[in-house]
Structure 1
Amino acid sequence: MNGAYNPLLVFLSLATASLASYTALELAGRISSLPDGRSRLPWLIGGAVVMGIGIWSMHFIGMLAFSLPIRLGYDFGITAISVLLASAASFLALTTVNRGHLSALRISVGGIAMGLGIAGMHYTGMAAMQMSPPIRYTVWIVAASIAIAIVASIAALWIAFTLRASEEQNIVLKRLAAALVMGLAITGMHYTGMSAANFETGSICLSVGKLDPDWLAMIVSVASLTVLIGTLIFLGWHTSSLANSLRRANVTLQHLGTHDALTNLPNRVLLANRVQLAIDAFSPSGSTFAVLFLDLDGFKTINDSLGHAVGDELLKMCAQRLRENVRKDDVVARVGGDEFVIVLNGPIEPSAAEHIAACLVRVVCEEAIIHNVRLRVSTSIGIALFPRDGRSTEGLLHSADSAMYNAKQSGRNMYRFFEVAMHGNATRTLTLQRDLQQALEDGHLSVAFQPKFNMVEQSMTGAEALIRWIHPELGNIPPLEFIPIAERSGQIIQIGEWVIKEVCRCIALWKAEGLAPIQIAINLSPVQFNVPDLVERIGAIVRAAHVSPQYLMFEITETAAMQNAERTTETLHKFRASGFQMAIDDFGTGHSSLAYLRQFQVSQVKVDQSFTKELDLHELEGGALISAIVTLSHALHMNVVAEGVETEAQLVKLTALGCDQAQGFLLAKPLPAEAFQQFQRALDRALAESELFAASAGRSIEIPIPN
């Protein structure tokens, strides 16, 4: 019994095979881009079902294209099995092609398994007609169809794997061409298999009435095309979605690469770009624009003492204040921990830049409340003008940075325009910061001792330890110059501990030499004072040196004490509990509250030397201030030490005002450790001869200091 083919359905089967192949290639490419097996499995299963339905649809449309002069039908159960076989073969194909390395053996084994699966699907689908007598197959043609299925499967796997690794250029055209080749191969296998079928004359179909071939042709065609085209549409949408996500991610990454994560301000990279754009824009005309370099004064102390959470909030608040107080076209960038740079776009007059800088100094200094804590920082600003102070990005930033350091050295909380001499100062600052560590290791640092005298009993009551640095090339470096550098760099912690160790060593040595022990006062940097375990660390140093805590007094400035009065009170209590005495240094220059001064319970209050000098210029006003400090301190059971006594007149007035102790060049200059030891011996001899404190005669003891 001979059959005939419907040309339209034959073409539709070829189109379905090619569409299924293209969908398979798209899925293979998509699955290979997924990161791991867990994320690939849902795609593999879904892809296998879609691809299996596509291949099965092609075969079934091809079978429906074949007509016999009898009524035909298809068994639902057997037809479903053929669909499962197609999906299983597709799952095997997608799994194989998405392995990391596809060897020739793996392609061959996978192709054979896939080809047998497709052939099994075809002949299972043929069996769904349930012909009686059964269909008789020509063996060699069946073998040829299976061989074609295997070869086509191997070729399909190779093409899919090759395209997976192919460059994106012309990938769609490559997949279309490959899909057409694969579609022809699959279609060829199908019609070869169909030609192997022989239907006996008088055969009947036992599946008539189960699945009507006419309706089935329409349903299969529409359903398969819907599934395949729907899959491609989904893949296209997914690709577009991924592209949009990637585009958004790139925008985010670009933003993160050019902006500070904490403040969302431009970072150093974007700042350099903006400065260069300004240079390019104003170079032809020679017009001026300004670069402001800002550093927050006192931020490190707050950050170290109150924690990074408070520090971060303070930085964000300062960043907001800076943004709100510059012009719309100006650029505010964060370039370091507490460093900001502002580009004032031109043309701009120096006076306008100065006005903006003054405004920024004012607004940054305003009080901030963070985590229910009242905080205040200031800013030092350096101003560089283009083209006067630099014609390159690096040059302008360097000039503004140098001016900022000059503002800090001049007292902070101010702005400075760049001057040529400042470059040398900035270079010197960097040199000192670099050499400080080496100075500590090489013994270039030393401690000098300036005596303190009791103004009533006319005896030495102790001394203040003062650090000295003799640089091998630059000579004597004043503490007022290198201490701020050490504070900014964090080296002050190590230097401060070294001073304590050196003082303890000297006290132990003097005791061993038979000298009467005296109390030595040591200054604590605000940075050092805010170290959480400061008291414990100092206690360990003192115990290791076998020195009693009663011979040590620690001084903190009034300004440092008031930065966080509650925490200061707690730390001072720990010092007292450990046997140390404490003093408030530079009293009268800060903003301390009388209530807090009572709460601090220190042993000494040291009147700042500026008040001592004021006695010579404005005796009434200066005397009134010192008298008030003495009265307050005595009421709180604290001794008063007058600093910076340089004239006999000052000494007489301070004695009359009730100061308990004094120190200054009139009485004794700071002495190296060995000279101070000689000074103590001379004092012992002078005391025995009642020649110690001849202030009324205008004499002070002169002790020869060894070179």
Structure 2
Amino acid sequence: MVGSYRLSLELFSLLIGSLIAYQAVDATARIAASRTPLHRGIWYGVGAWMLGLGLWSVHFVGMLARLPQAVGTFDPLLSVASGLAALAVGLGLLWVADCPTLGRARWLAGSLALGIGVAFVHMASEGALNLGGGTRYKPTVWLGWVVLCTFGVACGLRLMHGFRPRAKARRMGLRALLSVPMGLLICVLLDLSTRLSYAGQPMLSPEDSPGTIWLGSVVSLVAVLSMGAALIVSELVTRLYIRTQRLSGSLDTLNHQLHHLATHDPLTGLPNRHLLAERMERALARARAGHGHLAVLYIDLDGFKTINDTLGHGFGDELLRAVAARLASVLHPDSLARMGGDEFVAVLEHMRSPESALRIAQQLIALMQDSFAVRGTELSVTPSIGLAFYPHDGDSVEDLIAHADAAMYDAKDGGRNGYRCYDASMRERAVRVLKIQRGLQTAVEDGSLSLHFQPKHHGDTGALVGAEALLRWCHPELGAVSPLEFIGVAERSGQIARLGEWVIREACRQLRDWRDRGLSTVRIAINLSPMQIQQPGLVEVAAGIVGEAGLHTSQIMFEVTESMAMRDAERTTAILRDFRAHGFDFAIDDFGTGYSSLAYLQKFQVRQLKIDQFFVQALDEGGHEPRAIIAAIIELAHTLGMEVVAEGVETHAQAEVLRALGCDQVQGYLLARPMPAAEFERHCLSGDFALA
């Protein structure tokens, strides 16, 4: 072949080819990064337009750069056909490359189909220029075109798909660098196609076709400017889109975090009560469909409150996290939830039989026997577990959890560190507890509470020296409820502080009433529960109530049990010191049943020791040991400057022994039972009892 190329048009063709290559890989990456069908559709349209325009332009300008003869009459219909074919090829390129894995079959079949399309674009572009002669329509020429175009498309598809996973890391520089050799490859393939079509025919020199350079330059300039402008707009839109995606991603992350906070316990990371209910509903649906047995385990930690109160909430929180992790090592985290405090619930499903749940409960109990290391301190907590089964014990989330909770409390009543399965009797107790809890909420206002007073007498003369105030409650439906029952419910439900404050206020009101009516007044002893003594500001509240009543704090004595005082002896010492600073006296109740040490008894500096009635009643057995123990307690107390009170005196023999041993005060059924204020006033304040 002789003649010369039009170098300017050749360079334009190379530029357009490079832009095509860049747009191909860039559009594919943007489609992969799109998160909605609308965005994908937009990028498919923009990408197909850019690739189609570029493909048509590179063929048109490339042929003008190496024409074998002068351009004839321009055919607009063939030009439009070649343009539409180019758009279809561009869309096909994007569709074939837009897949997670470009398999060999998809790659080869797509390359062949699109290669045929590119060959048609080439043929239609030549026809649009109305070039006469040549062998471009011979089958061998067609086959050659298809082979060359298929090879070029195959290379392009691999490049486009290779950049698809890098949608977020756009790597513009690398794409631009690879676009140049791809553009050169397009120009080489176009040149080979042209030479194949006009084999043996000489190329025109520039002067042979004066309008060719002008026409090619205009088309090239329009194509380059159009694609360049589209590229710039595309970049701006992409930056805006990426920023929007980042903001959207941030919102998605924030929404995910908010949802996690709303459905998970912030301390342990376990699901909370709300998420547990949702998962239990789904588990119940599977169980109803026959996918195995379902059980609910309600787990409560024994002794956790003592650790939390004595070592602080920081220790308690770390212990709860450690317990949750240990439980999750046996139970699937999705089936375990924290209900609050030291209570956890596990949902077991897909079990072959209910016995599977019992084995898991036993496994959990064995697992919890090992201590936990928290901040270098060995801490031990054991579980009390209640079990309820679907459908035997309930067919709803609420019933199963409530019944498992009732079984857990039965396990605690049975000695703790064990498990119980729910039965109907527990339901009755659970209903009773619920009625008690609800009744306590209005007990202060509705007048159902009252104080009874049991007198305390001088051990030698029998003179009235004081009284113990005992809380009584008459439930509007259940009738009289024992303090042993409702005090425990009040502590678990957090109502004990309110009840305790009412007792102090009512005792002071009664003392002031007796004083105002000229009756003899006595010191009133008031019992404090373990939760009350830990209540912040209790001393100030009590002192304020006494002051409002116009009384002196010495007229009120508080009592705590020996076991409660020794639970955290150092803290008890500090609390008692605070009470003494306000003028209150203290007594250690049920002495002899705990594990007091002489050192702490001296630190406590209480006014009285109250001998537990177990030792007093043992005096009737006639053995030497009860008398010796009581004598030792009395001698110890007197040595430490304390008074001794004997509880539960029911016989004259007991009273005589206590008098002989020098017991300071006695109280019990022998002298008087607890009685309402009016009866106490009538029998005790009008004249003293005397011991027989």
Q: Is the 8 A contact 1:405 1:426 kept in 2?
A: no
Going from structure 1 to structure 2, the CA distance change for 1:360 and 1:534 (only over 3 Å counts) comes to farther
Aligned to 2:537: 533
2:209 — aligned with what? Answer: none
Shift in CA distance, 394/586, structure 1 to aligned 2, threshold 3 Å:
same
Of the three residues 352, 362, 378, the one matched with 1:347 is 352
Deviation at 1:464, TM superposition (A): 0.7
Structure 1: distance between partners of 2:361 and 2:588: 34
2:691 matches 1:693: yes
Name the aligned partner's letter for residue 478 of structure 1.
S
Alignment match, 2:295:
290
SS in structure 1 at match of 2:510: helix
Deviates more, 1:622-631 or 1:577-586: 622-631
- Of stretches 293-302 and 497-506 in structure 1, the one that deviates more from structure 2 is 293-302
Distance 2:670 2:365 in 1: 40
1:258 matched to 2:263: yes
Q: Shift of residue 252 of structure 1?
A: 4.3
Alignment of 1:312 onto 2:317: yes
Tell me what 2:342 maps to. 338
Q: Which residue, out of 439, 443, 447, partners 1:443?
A: 447
* CA pair 417-648 structure 1, distance change in 2 beyond 3 A: farther
Cα distance 1:599–1:270, how it changes in 2: closer, same or farther (>3 A)? same
State the shift of 1:334 in Å: 0.4
- The one of 677, 680, 684 equivalent to 2:684 is 680
SS in 2 for 1:335: strand
Q: What TM-score do the two structures reach when normalised by structure 1?
A: 0.60
Cα distance in 1 for partners of 2:630, 2:250 equals: 70
Which residue matches 1:425? 429
The within-5 A match list for 1:213-612 is 231=236, 252-283=257-288, 288-296=293-301, 299=304, 308-324=313-329, 326-327=330-331, 331-345=335-349, 346-350=351-355, 353-354=357-358, 357=361, 360=364, 379-408=383-412, 415-612=419-616
- Give unpaired runs (5+ residues) of structure 2: 1-7, 34-60, 62-217
What is the identity percentage for the equivalent residue pairs of Structure 1 and Structure 2? 49
Alpha-carbon distance in structure 2 between the residues aligned to 1:529 and 1:338 = 21
| Superposed displacement of residue 608, structure 1 | 2.9
Measure the CA separation in 2 of the matches of 1:628 and 1:359: 47
| Kept after mapping to 2: 8 A contact 1:454/1:461 | yes
Name the count of aligned residue pairs.
Answer: 517
1:132-281 matches, within 5 Å, as 231=236, 252-281=257-286
User: 1:637: which partner in 2?
Assistant: 641
Gaps of 5+ in 1: 31-64, 66-212, 687-691, 695-707
Partner SS, residue 381 of structure 1: strand
The answer to whether the Cα contact below 8 Å between 1:552 and 1:580 also exists between their aligned partners in 2 is yes
- Normalised by the length of structure 2, the TM-score is 0.61
CA contact (8 A) 2:354 2:389 kept: no
d(CA) in 2 for partners of 1:356 and 1:591?
36
1:667 paired with 2:665, answer: no
Aligned partners of 2:562 and 2:594 also within 8 Å: yes
Distance in 2 separating the partners of 1:347 and 1:403: 22
Change (3 A) 1:331 1:590: farther
Measured in 1, the distance between the counterparts of 2:417 and 2:609 equals 26
C-alpha deviation, 1:273, in angstroms = 4.0
Distance 2:430 2:630 in 1: 39
Question: SS of 1:640's equivalent?
Answer: strand
- Contact kept in structure 1, 2:331 and 2:346, CA below 8 Å: no
Letter in 2 for 1:464: E
Alignment CA distance shift 1:405-1:246 (3 Å): same
Letter in 2 for 1:663: Q
d(CA) in 2 for partners of 1:604 and 1:358? 45
Contact 1:467–1:499 (8 Å) recurs in 2: yes
Q: Distance in 1 between matches of 2:388 and 2:235?
A: 63
Work out the CA distance in 2 between the residues paired with 1:379 and 1:250: 36
Relative to structure 1, the CA distance from residue 329 to residue 538 in structure 2 (aligned partners, 3 Å threshold; closer, same or farther) is closer
Q: For residues 363 and 516 of structure 1, do their structure 2 counterparts lie closer, same or farther at Cα, with a shift above 3 Å needed?
A: farther
Q: Is the 8 A contact 1:301 1:530 kept in 2?
A: no
User: C-alpha distance in 1, partners of 2:367/2:589?
Assistant: 29
Higher RCO, 1 or 2 (CA under 8 Å, sep at least 6)? 2
CA distance in 2, matches of 1:223, 1:259: 52
Deviations 1:116-171 (A, max 9, x none): xxxxxxxxxxxxxxxxxxxxxxxxxxxxxxxxxxxxxxxxxxxxxxxxxxxxxxxx
Moved more, 414-423 or 354-363: 354-363
Q: Take 1:553 and 1:376, find their aligned partners in 2: how far apart are those partners?
A: 35
- Give CA deviations for 1:472-511 in whole Å, capped at 9, x if unaligned: 2221111111112222222221221111111112222223
- Matched to 1:381, the amino acid is I
- 1:467 alignment partner, SS class: strand
- Give the RMSD, CA atoms, in angstroms: 5.3
2:130 match? none
